[in-house]
Structure 1
Amino acid sequence: MVQQRHVFLSFLLLVPLLWSGTLFAATDEATALVQRTAERMIHLLEMRRAEIERNPALIYGLVESTVLPHFDFERITQGAVGQYWRQATADQQRQLVNGFKQVLIRTYARSLLSYSGQKINYLPSKPGNRPTMVTVATEVQDSGAVPIPVDYRMHKADSGWKVFDVVINNASLVGNYRTSFATTIRQSGIDGLIAQLTDMNRRGQE
């Protein structure tokens, strides 16, 4: 349970180097974005803590306005669905993205409520597989515990840097979901996965 809390807390807290220095500056930009987003989210949480304790549902709005713009949920969902993504119709793909996004939002938002001052250390960025990709490396430090490495895999979109995967203790968030999603699709098809996501979100509202 503690590990799961760190996984989703880290989830939100939120490039090869050329001699010209252009992409070096870009990696700094990606790291700065993760740090700004994390600090902004923590600031809002602390500032409105009493209000949120009275009405926990308020946390969803804060997450959506502060963090969601920096995540590429279509790419995250495509990676989690894996080889089955191309088998889905355009409407099914839309439903998968919307459903999975809400699952992640709700899971993170609930975990964020238990934030109690964990420290985030920002480490040197790592080059991605392409010039337009970078991995922002961080560690989440809880008092008296071993730091948990959290890497944000990001790509440069037209609207700026976007997170497309989060790796916690060398375990990919997208990869973990890909395994469970594949099992569901093999048993119940694409519509079965959509129904499962819908049910998860419905239960999350109860």
Structure 2
Amino acid sequence: MFKWVSRWVVWLFLLVSAQAFAINAQDPYSLVKDAAGKTFLRLEQDAPQVKKDPNYLRTIVREELMPYVDNKFAAYKVIGAELKNTTPEQRDRFVKAFTDYIVATYADALGKYDKQTIQVESSQPVDDKKEVSVKVTVIDPSKPEINVVFQLRKNSRTGEWKVFDMVAEGVSLLSSKQSELGGSIRQKGIDSVSSMLEQHNLKPATLQSKQS
């Protein structure tokens, strides 16, 4: 009897937790808030595993954040006008390499997480907008606030929103990569840049100092 009750309680807890963190991809504000909440809960729950293996941060990013990131759109924006000069195979390779790079970038950022408070701006009417900016404030009692803006776009077919850019303290990740990698693609070719990203992505993740 006790075992049955215990299992029922665990099942109910898991069900409630799943409902509490169900992601509403039809609302960009809810999506950012729910995905952030789910990710930071996972960080706290899996802290011992992250400490043991920092690369596990990338697993968390892939599982909790990447389903809501339009990595293909972002990668194609980086390729820019050179897209017409590439083959499907070259594009697929670059998208994968760029996606892994984004995963590593987000994982490095999460490596600084130390139970800060995340505040997402209140929902606003989106009407017929195709792109929306959602402001997020990272609050740390011992440091100045950090302002981050997530840029999202709406899929006209499914009506779902996905993130395609992150602007931290006025610096756009997508714009910086368009300038850096886009220029290299024009000069050296997409295969060379894909190889460079693949090599970069092989570097193991590290836990950075919380004071940095």
Change in Cα spacing, 1:159 to 1:131, as seen in structure 2 (3 Å) is closer
The residue that corresponds to 1:88 in the other structure is: 86
Task: Tell me the TM-score normalized by structure 1.
Answer: 0.77
The number of residue pairs the alignment matches comes to 181
Contact residue 58 and residue 103 of structure 2 kept, 8 A: yes
Q: 1:125 to 1:180 in 2, by over 3 A?
A: farther
Structure with larger Rg: 2
The answer to whether 1:186 aligns with 2:186 is yes
Distance of 2:165 and 2:32 partners within structure 1: 13
Question: What's the secondary structure of 1:203's corresponding residue?
Answer: coil
Letter in 2 for 1:180: E
2:189 is paired with a residue of what secondary structure? helix
AA matched with 1:139: T
Task: Provide the residue aligned with 1:35 in structure 2.
Answer: 33
Deviates more, 1:191-200 or 1:113-122: 113-122
Counterparts of 2:186 and 2:53 in 1: how far apart (Å)? 40
Shift of 1:87: 2.1
Q: Residue 13 of structure 2 corresponds to which residue in structure 1?
A: none
Deviation of 1:126 (Å): 6.9
Aligned to 1:140: 138
Contact 2:55 2:205 in 1 (8 A): no
Q: Shift of residue 147 of structure 1?
A: 2.1
Partner of residue 173, structure 2: 173
Structure 2 residue runs of 5 or longer lacking an equivalent are 1-23, 207-212
Equivalent residue, structure 1, for 2:115 = 117
Q: 2:70 aligns with which of 69, 72, 89?
A: 72
- Cross-structure match for 2:210: none
Quote the offset at 1:205 in angstroms.
7.3
**Percent sequence identity over aligned pairs:** 26
Give the Å deviation of 1:127. Answer: 7.9
Counterpart of 1:149 (choices 137, 147, 150) is 147
Which SS does the other structure have where 2:165 is aligned? Answer: strand
CA contact (8 A) 1:121 1:139 kept: yes
Pairwise CA RMSD: 2.6
CA distance in 2, matches of 1:29, 1:72: 15
Are the structure 2 counterparts of residues 148 and 114 from structure 1 closer, same or farther at C-alpha, using a change threshold of 3 Å? closer
